[in-house]
Amino acid sequence: MIHETIVTTAACDGRPHIAPMGARYEGERVVLSPFRPSTTLDNIVASRAAVLNFTTDVRIFAGCVTHCATDWPTVRASRVASVRLAESLAHAELELDEMRDDAQRPVLFMKCVHRENHAPFAGFNRAQSAVVEGAILVSRLFMLPADKVDREMAYLQIAIDKTAGDNERTAWGWLVAAIARHRANLEAAGGAPATVAHH
């Protein structure tokens, strides 16, 4: 099972970095798999630490993958050499236990050394799930056929129309704009859209 989270890390100079990333659990260990090149990977290797932030503010997922909003407030983590989101439902502080290196996608096995709960979970919201799915599409635009993106966005739009609040509508707007920007850039470069199906 993979949980979609916001991973926060700090560079050597303390500069925070925020990235949506899937987290798997293997027994007591949390497993992260960043594709190279990755600032998250570089920061974890240097600091041996990261934080998993559990949030339903899907603007952070959409803001990071579209680069529309990347500077969400962070504060220092309590126990590890990292930062955490200033606002989340909960967070888990991780230390690097083992790294299986790979030219494309290294696997990082992390140990949780501290957890904090901050706010209650209000329940599932379909528009939030739709934004997370849309953010994954946007992060893979370079390899997905345009008609697949259109079909999936049209389906996800139903949940947005029925159940979104302000944050979800803002996040969805960033995703829709990023897709339009990507297509305009392709056209300007004179290239045809990619047609390699990923899965």
Ligand X SMILES: Cc1cc2nc3c(=O)[nH]c(=O)nc-3n(C[C@H](O)[C@H](O)[C@H](O)COP(=O)(O)O)c2cc1C
Question: Exposure of 150 by Cβ count < 10 A (0-12 exposed, 13-18 middle, 19+ buried)?
Answer: exposed
Counting residues that bind ligand X (by CB under 6 A) gives: 17
The answer to the question of residue 65 lying near ligand X (CB under 6 A) is yes
Stretch that binds ligand X, among 30-38, 113-121, 163-171, 182-190 (CB under 6 A): 30-38
CB of residue 114 vs ligand X: minimum separation in angstroms?
Answer: 22
* The one among 21, 51, 58, 153 contacting ligand X by CB under 6 A: 21
CA distance 84 to 7: 8
Maximal CA-CA distance, the chain = 51
DSSP string, 109-145: EEEEEEEEE-S------HHHHHHHHHHHHHHTGGGS-
> For ligand X, which is the closer residue by CB, 23 or 190?
23
The answer to the question of residue 61 lying near ligand X (CB under 6 A) is yes
The answer to the question of residue 19 lying near ligand X (CB under 6 A) is yes
The answer to the question of residue 128 lying near ligand X (CB under 6 A) is no
Stretch that binds ligand X, among 93-101, 135-143, 155-163, 191-199 (CB under 6 A): 135-143
Using CA atoms, how far residue 68 sits from 11, 173, 186, in Å, is: 21, 10, 19
Residues from 37 through 56 that contact ligand X (CB under 6 A)? 38-40
Question: How many C-beta atoms surround the C-beta of residue 72 within 10 A?
Answer: 20
85 touches 53 (CB < 8 A)? yes
> For ligand X, which is the closer residue by CB, 101 or 187?
101
The answer to the question of residue 153 lying near ligand X (CB under 6 A) is no
The answer to the question of residue 110 lying near ligand X (CB under 6 A) is no
114 touches 78 (CB < 8 A)? yes
> For ligand X, which is the closer residue by CB, 15 or 190?
15
Q: Which residues bind ligand X (CB under 6 A)?
A: 4, 19-22, 33-35, 38-40, 61, 65, 132, 135-136, 139
